[in-house]
Structure 1
Amino acid sequence: MSQAVKCLILLAVVALLFVTELIPLAITATAGAIACGLLGFIPAKQVFSGLSNSTVVLFAGMFIVGAAMFYTGLAQKIGNTVVHFCGTGENSLMFGLMLVGTLLSSVLSNTGTAACLLPVALGICAAAKIPASRQLMPLAFACGWGGIITMVGTPPNIIATGALTSAGLEGFGFFEFAWIGIPVSIAGMLYMMFIGKHLLPKVELDADQEIE
């Protein structure tokens, strides 16, 4: 059996474990790298070389800063402040949530930003008797497009920069993505405010649903 076939089989097994999560994902990833070394696909000394990659270190630093903002309550305080100034009207609340979602996700984890603002949005929607479904989808979109504003806003930006640097080319600057990210974010917000809102579902919260 050739090395290419062995590598393909290993890739299929690792992909299956990633999808099914039969074992923790961290163990799957580590075991895959070790298997590559044991089977001779890569030199043994390169099995864990990726852990010292500058891209991985940048990922770790981004998660630490983001977690600090969430655990200290700073991110939620920012969200509450913006929503407080925008009011509880459906249109103004939608604009406020998208604005703060875009800004926070540009420097933090997209998923963490959405998770942080989720209870804020649900609580305000319940108090103002506004269908939560009409606010959560714009918030999710805002956290998505906000991540492309900076280099650390979303993992693909960091990976692309790391690939360029590894190839001996000049990587992207921290705000270089903003030339595309900011126009896309503005266009997305305008679309949701004037067109997209008419396509949003209207799902009322259950009377006995608890809002944290």
Structure 2
Amino acid sequence: MNLADLIAHYGLAALFVGSGLEGETVVVFGGLMAHRGFFGFGPAVLAAAAGSFIADQIFFALGRRYRDTRLVRRIRERPGFRRALRTFERYPNLFIFGFRFVYGLRTVSPVAIGTTDVSAWRFVAVNAVAACTWAATFVSLGYLFSRSIEAVMGRLGPVEHWAIGAVGVALLLVLLIRFARRRRAGPLSGMEKD
């Protein structure tokens, strides 16, 4: 069962969960399914926004709850983390609003923001607006470009599916090897150049 089948079978519940766990790809497919008539455009936006909002609130709460632990204190000393916090301190609302639109920052940013002194209510307010904007943007992309997405997916034969899978596995292996090397080299290796 592929991603489109999951959303088609489980509907808005899959879109809700997927938007919080996976992100843009699920939400774009949610827009495609809305275009096909599986559910309405408005409910798709609401499900995606709610899933994203709730996931980010959970990550923020985890950052807030565990910010004084030894592990988090050690991570906060890394140059990259400190630089991100300096950016947050200069543009807190913009950072809270924009992190979900930057690939690779979606999960770690609400945790990092939770370690700061920003009020929980401020995070809730900006996060709600950002989640709605993000959901509307990516559901709209899936909805508006549904025919193009379906055409590309339909042209992919079994060989292309295997090739895409092989590239994904190779990428995962490279990332695992890099992670293992960094762990062996020490907690701050790779961050020194930041």
Fold agreement, TM-score > 0.5: no
User: TM-score when scaled to structure 1?
Assistant: 0.27
Higher relative contact order (CA 8 A, sep 6+): 2
User: TM-score when scaled to structure 2?
Assistant: 0.29
More helix by share: 2
**Of the two, which has the highest radius of gyration?**
1
